[in-house]
Amino acid sequence: MADTYDLNDIKRRMQGAVAALKHDLASLRTGRASANLLDPIEVEAYGARMPLSQVATISVPEARMLSVQVWDRSMVTPVEKAIRESSLGLNPNTEGQVIRLRIPELNEQRRKEMVKVAHKYAEAARVAARHVRRDAMDLLKKLEKDGKMAKDDATRGSDQVQKATDSTIAELDAALAHKEKEIMQV
């Protein structure tokens, strides 16, 4: 971390945790089709592992269906295999270069498992935000100890960091509550 205190940088780093959580939550299946659902899938393509979105176009033609238009005909089988082997529980139906994925209804037990996964994602994001807070507090103490910052400024800075942390955690909790409600909706 730099030897200067910058509240905007601290807030930006905390917002990184919020963005990561929102990305992780978008990849959770809620019973409705979403192109983000296939984000975690990587395909063995051209001698390397690539995200599915780099070898195909993903669209949502219906509320419970995804369509994957593979660009290269030779990649259809590896894409199909990657989808089948993913932990998403989807069964691909291939028609030429188009793979259709029907999104099945979630049962109550699977919904509760999804909520647990969402809580794990949220806790990881909270921990990341707290790490940013800890780094900022350590920097403030170091600057005060080295005489580069007055005690009053350090105290004011630590109050600002705590407020930024509280606001970030509230934002994380709101995102989790929204996703939990979406998952449990039948």
Q: For residue range 39-94, what is the model confidence (pLDDT) as tens digits?
A: 878 898 888 899 888 899 999 888 788 899 999 899 899 999 998 887 677 889 99
Task: Please give the residue range of the domain that contains residue 11.
Answer: 7-26+107-184
User: CA-CA distance, 82 to 22, in Å (whole number)?
Assistant: 24
Asked whether residue 71 is domain-assigned, the answer is yes
Q: How many Å is the maximal CA-CA distance in the chain?
A: 70
- DSSP assignment letter at 105: P
Q: How many domains does the chain have?
A: 2
Asked whether residue 2 is domain-assigned, the answer is no
What 3 state SS string does 43-74 have?
EEECCEEEEHHHCEEEEEEECCEEEEEECCHH
Q: What is the pTM of this model?
A: 0.68
Asked whether residue 40 is domain-assigned, the answer is yes
The DSSP bridge partners found for residue 14 are none
The DSSP bridge partners found for residue 45 are 48
Asked whether residue 11 is domain-assigned, the answer is yes
- DSSP assignment letter at 38: G
Query: Is residue 108's pLDDT more than 50?
Result: yes
pLDDT tier at 1, thresholds 50, 70, 90: very low
8 A C-beta contact, residue 77 and residue 67? no
Same domain? 20 vs 82: no
CATH number for the domain spanning 156: value is: 1.10.132.20
Same domain? 125 vs 179: yes
Asked whether residue 63 is domain-assigned, the answer is yes
Q: For residue range 114-137, what is the model confidence (pLDDT) as tens digits?
A: 888 889 999 999 999 999 999 999
Asked whether residue 142 is domain-assigned, the answer is yes
Q: Which residue has the tokens 């019973």?
A: 31
